[in-house]
């Protein structure tokens, strides 16, 4: 699966950053990783995220998360074109204070899996959070394009959700300039 | 309420728009008592800054009376307080804010607005009032009322007895001129050369003297602005009359100025060959910025000196003399102003009479005449040094 030649890159970098390997970095067609540093303790960030009921507070497109039995949860998310997408997510790995991994059960609208990792940043910098998602774009390439235009492409969503997570954890609120407090739209 | 809105290049209008309201716990609403048109508003007016939408409420230099406070800001502000507000928005909690790098705040640009500047600059820009959607798309203060996010961090209370005109410029141009001078790390005997005698350049002159400069040399071509620079204590050069680099070298015994301040930015005027070519390139969309002053400052600066850049740049520029920069061992310091860091100490300078910011104001107009204010500030840069608008 990976190139066999010896690599001299020795730093701890996920395969998504390696040239020509992003497509193979996860089990699905689209793979992306995003890192953000948050000035709060690792345990606090882990605990907030692990209680999935908190996630809609900063995940703008998530309409509801219903906790089911044995680490499963039902997600309803605003998708492209005003259509909701749904899936049941199951926690596949849970290392308190460090890492949570999940996978969508078969039969959902978006086949995907991912993980979030929390690592201590250098002194006074807080916690480094990395999120990885691997997914099959709904309705293939066309769906991906539509989602992108609608700004509901999972990669774009993940980027914005991580920014909002940081805002909420550091400032206690999610930053906004939305109307009527921003400029009125004609 | 009534508000001054951007509708396109050279097109600003006073419109009736919805009143702002508290959205987040740390918000406050101000009734604006004074607001000014800034040189960087002219960059919007001239269509140089991307990410503007028709209907955006302008204005990032403003002050007023608190009329509503969210529960998360009530420990810091109460209804009736008179405050002046920094033009950039800072959360106070993130690592840059904790390091007093307020204009690098990580959190004040809304998540859905931050993609564009992250693509353009590598990292998302900080939020600011009344400016491009690259900086958050916040409604500005050239309006009757304005919502101030993170209001427990930014607004500075104005002591009783001080007039609006004395403190309004703490919102931007005074701290911006001061930081430009502070970035020069002025030592005993230093000569500071300043390109641009607009509001920021004039405050940079006064600040350079406050910080111990031996001499300040100021460069512009508008006689009225040069006169103000002279009144502030600078020796002045009109670049339509003299070759600037020759004059600077001669005036400094061949050493060159110890530090050079580019208080002009991306819309440099003048007919030097490089600037004419830059102008053609920007018209042809081959470049975005006209960095004539930046080039000249690098070339004029003494070996081992500092080039300080408060002037606004937005995109890309050609033919930066990087060899001169490296071989002379220059330091370049720049950035949007960390306004919050300077407001209290500059208020003290005003209170103790070491500086009177009102010297700058040439026009006071009601908000309804705001569009005329923009036309004058743009078209009559000689006479029109600063326009203050009164919304009520």
pLDDT score recorded for residue A111? 87
**8 Å CB contact of B94 and A170:** yes
Q: Domain range holding A111? A: 25-172
- If one counts every other C-beta atom within 10 angstroms of the C-beta of residue A114, the result is 23
A164 to chain B: closest CA residue: B111
Chain A contact set for B18 (CB, 8 A):
179-180, 184
Confidence of residue B305 (pLDDT cuts 50, 70, 90): very high
Segment A51-62 shows an average pLDDT of: 93
What's the per-residue H, E or C state across chain B?
CEEEEEEECCEEEEEECCCCCCCCCCCEEEEEEEEEECHHHHHHHCCCCCCCCCCEECCCEEEEEEEEECCCCCCCCCCCCEEEECCECCCCCCHHHHCCCHHHCCCCCCHHHHHHHHHHHCCCCCCEECCCHHHCCECCCCECEEEECCCCCCCEECCCCCCHHHHHHHHCHHHHHHHHHHCCCCCCCCEEEEECCCHHHHHHHHHHHHCCCCEEEEEECCHHHHHHHHHCCCEEEECCCCCHHHHHHHHCCCCCCCEEEECCCCECCCCCHHHHHHHHHHHCCCCCCECHHHHHHHHHCCCCCEEEECCCCCCCCCCCCHHHHHHCCCEEEECCCCHHHHHHHHHHHHHCCCCCHHHHCCEEEEHHHHHHHHHHHHHCCCCCCCEEEECC
Taking a C-beta distance cutoff of 8 angstroms, is the pair A92, A101 a contact?
Answer: yes
Within a domain: A45 = yes
Confidence of residue A179 (pLDDT cuts 50, 70, 90): low
Residue B277 has pLDDT above 80, yes or no: no
- What does the mean pLDDT of chain A come to? 87
CATH number assigned to the domain comprising residue A126: 3.30.530.20
**In Å, how far is A94's CA from the nearest CA of chain B?**
28
The closest of A31, A27, A33 to A13, measured between CA atoms, is: A33
Question: A147-156, B155-164, B175-184: lowest mean pLDDT where?
Answer: A147-156
Question: A155-169, B159-173, B284-298, B322-336: lowest mean pLDDT where?
Answer: B284-298
Segment A61-70 shows an average pLDDT of: 93
Taking a C-beta distance cutoff of 8 angstroms, is the pair A147, A80 a contact?
Answer: yes
* Higher per-residue pLDDT: A90 or A12: A90
pLDDT score recorded for residue A178? 84
Helix (H) / strand (E) containing A156: helix A154-171
Residue B172 has pLDDT above 60, yes or no: yes
pLDDT score recorded for residue B345? 97
Handedness of CA B143, B144, B145, B151 (dihedral sign): positive
Segment A146-171 shows an average pLDDT of: 83
CB-closest option in A124, A160, A175 to B149: A175
**Most A-contacting residue of B23, B57, B100, B135 (CB-CB within 10 A), to test interface:** B23
Residue A142 has pLDDT above 80, yes or no: no
* Higher per-residue pLDDT: A144 or B194: B194
Within a domain: A10 = no
Q: Reply yes or no: is the peptide bond before residue A41 cis, omega within 30 of 0.
A: no
Residue B357 has pLDDT above 80, yes or no: yes
**8 Å CB contact of A181 and B21:** yes
Q: Which residues of A touch B (CB under 8 A)?
A: 37, 39, 60, 124-126, 151, 156, 159-161, 163-164, 166-167, 170-186
> Would an 8 Å CB–CB cutoff place B111 in contact with chain A?
yes
What b/e sequence results for B171-186 when a residue is b if at least 16 CB atoms lie within 10 Å of its CB, and e otherwise? bbbbbbbbbbbbbbeb
- If one counts every other C-beta atom within 10 angstroms of the C-beta of residue B292, the result is 27
**In Å, how far is B94's CA from the nearest CA of chain A?**
6
pLDDT score recorded for residue A149? 59
Integer-rounded Cα radius of gyration of chain B: 20
In Å, how far are B52, B226, B296, B311, B334 from B197, measured between CA atoms? 27, 7, 16, 11, 18
**In Å, how far is B150's CA from the nearest CA of chain A?**
9
Taking a C-beta distance cutoff of 8 angstroms, is the pair B51, B69 a contact?
Answer: no
Residue A124 has pLDDT above 70, yes or no: yes
Within a domain: A179 = no
pLDDT score recorded for residue A1? 47
pLDDT score recorded for residue A30? 83
**How would DSSP label each residue in A65-130?**
EEE-STTEEEEEEE-GGG-EEEEEEEEEEEETTTEEEEEEPTTSSS-EEEEEEEEEPSTTS-EEEE
Within a domain: A12 = no
Residue B270 has pLDDT above 80, yes or no: no
Segment B126-155 shows an average pLDDT of: 97
The closest of B339, B333, B337 to B308, measured between CA atoms, is: B333
**8 Å CB contact of A183 and B139:** yes
Chain A contact set for B115 (CB, 8 A):
156, 159-160
Chain B contact set for A176 (CB, 8 A):
23-24, 110, 149
Taking a C-beta distance cutoff of 8 angstroms, is the pair B50, B314 a contact?
Answer: yes
Distance CA B374, CA B372 (A): 5
Give me the number of domains chain A comprises. Answer: 1
The closest of B166, B211, B215 to B347, measured between CA atoms, is: B166
* Higher per-residue pLDDT: A149 or B279: B279
CB-closest option in B56, B98, B150 to A183: B56
pLDDT tens-digit readout, B57-69: 999 999 999 999 9
**8 Å CB contact of B53 and A183:** yes
Within a domain: A122 = yes
Within a domain: A58 = yes
Residue B354 has pLDDT above 50, yes or no: yes
pLDDT score recorded for residue A4? 58
**8 Å CB contact of B137 and A183:** yes
**In Å, how far is B377's CA from the nearest CA of chain A?**
23
Taking a C-beta distance cutoff of 8 angstroms, is the pair B195, B219 a contact?
Answer: yes
Within a domain: A18 = no
**Residues contacting residue B333 through CB under 8 Å, at least 6 positions apart:** B183, B184, B306, B307, B308, B309
Confidence of residue B327 (pLDDT cuts 50, 70, 90): very high
Portion 21-60 of B in contact with A at CB < 8 A:
21, 23-26, 53-57
Residue B272 has pLDDT above 80, yes or no: no
pLDDT score recorded for residue B352? 96
pLDDT score recorded for residue A184? 44
pLDDT score recorded for residue A46? 98
Within a domain: A63 = yes
pLDDT score recorded for residue B154? 96
**In Å, how far is B22's CA from the nearest CA of chain A?**
8
B126 to chain A: closest CA residue: A175
**In Å, how far is B130's CA from the nearest CA of chain A?**
9
Question: A84 - beta bridge partners?
Answer: A78
Distance CA B335, CA B225 (A): 24
CB-closest option in A156, A167, A182 to B107: A167
**8 Å CB contact of A170 and B25:** no
């Amino acid at each position: 699966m990976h190139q066999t030649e010896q690599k001299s890159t020795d730093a701890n970098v996920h395969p998504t950053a390696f040239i020509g390997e992003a497509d193979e970095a996860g089990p699905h067609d689209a793979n992306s990783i995003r890192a953000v540093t948050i000035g709060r303790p690792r345990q606090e960030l882990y605990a907030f995220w692990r209680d999935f009921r908190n996630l809609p507070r900063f995940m703008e497109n998530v309409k509801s998360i219903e906790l089911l039995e044995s680490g499963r949860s039902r997600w309803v998310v605003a998708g492209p074109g005003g259509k909701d997408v749904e899936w049941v997510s199951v926690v596949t790995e849970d290392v308190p204070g460090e890492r949570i991994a999940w996978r969508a059960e078969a039969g959902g609208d978006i086949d995907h899996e991912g993980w979030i990792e929390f690592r201590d940043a250098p002194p006074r910098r807080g916690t480094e959070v990395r999120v990885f998602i691997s997914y099959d774009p709904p309705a293939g390439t066309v769906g991906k394009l539509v989602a992108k235009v609608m700004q509901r492409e999972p990669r774009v969503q993940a980027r914005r959700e991580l920014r909002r997570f940081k805002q909420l954890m550091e400032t206690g609120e999610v930053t906004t300039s939305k109307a009527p407090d921003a400029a009125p739209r004609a | 309420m009534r508000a001054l809105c951007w509708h396109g290049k050279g097109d600003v209008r006073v419109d009736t728009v919805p009143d702002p309201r508290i959205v987040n716990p740390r918000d406050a609403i101000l009734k604006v008592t004074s607001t000014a048109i800034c040189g960087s508003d002219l960059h919007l007016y001239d269509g140089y800054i991307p990410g503007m939408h028709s209907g955006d409420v302008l204005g990032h230099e403003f002050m007023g009376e608190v009329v509503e406070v969210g529960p998360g800001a009530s420990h810091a502000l109460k209804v009736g307080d008179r405050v002046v507000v920094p033009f950039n928005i800072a959360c106070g909690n993130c690592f840059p804010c904790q390091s007093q790098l307020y204009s690098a705040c990580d959190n004040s640009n809304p998540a859905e607005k931050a993609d564009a500047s992250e693509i353009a600059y590598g990292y998302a820009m900080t939020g600011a009032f009344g400016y491009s959607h690259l900086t958050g798309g916040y409604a500005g203060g050239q309006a009757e009322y304005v919502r101030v996010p993170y209001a427990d961090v930014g607004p500075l209370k104005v002591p009783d007895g001080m007039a609006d005109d004395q403190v309004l410029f703490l919102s931007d141009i005074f701290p911006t001129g001061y930081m430009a001078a502070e970035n020069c790390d002025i030592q005993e005997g230093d000569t500071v050369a300043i390109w641009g005698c607009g509001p920021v350049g004039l405050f940079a002159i006064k600040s350079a003297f406050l910080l111990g400069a031996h001499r300040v040399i100021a460069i512009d071509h508008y006689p009225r602005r040069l006169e103000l620079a002279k009144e502030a204590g600078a020796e002045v050069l009109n670049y339509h009359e003299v070759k600037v680099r020759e004059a600077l070298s001669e005036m400094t015994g061949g050493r060159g100025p110890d530090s050079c301040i580019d208080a002009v930015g991306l819309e440099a005027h003048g007919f030097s060959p490089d600037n004419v070519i830059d102008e053609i390139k920007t018209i042809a969309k081959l470049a975005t910025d006209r960095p004539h002053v930046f080039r000249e400052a690098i070339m004029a600066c003494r070996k081992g000196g500092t080039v300080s850049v408060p002037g606004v740049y937005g995109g890309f520029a050609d033919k930066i003399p990087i060899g001169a920069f490296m071989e002379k061992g220059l330091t370049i310091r720049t950035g949007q102003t960390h306004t919050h860091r300077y407001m209290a100490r500059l208020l003290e300078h005003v209170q103790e009479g070491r500086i009177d910011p009102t010297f700058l104001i040439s026009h006071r107009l009601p908000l309804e005449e705001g569009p005329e204010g923009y036309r004058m500030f743009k078209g009559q840069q000689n006479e029109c040094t600063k326009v203050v608008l009164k919304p009520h």
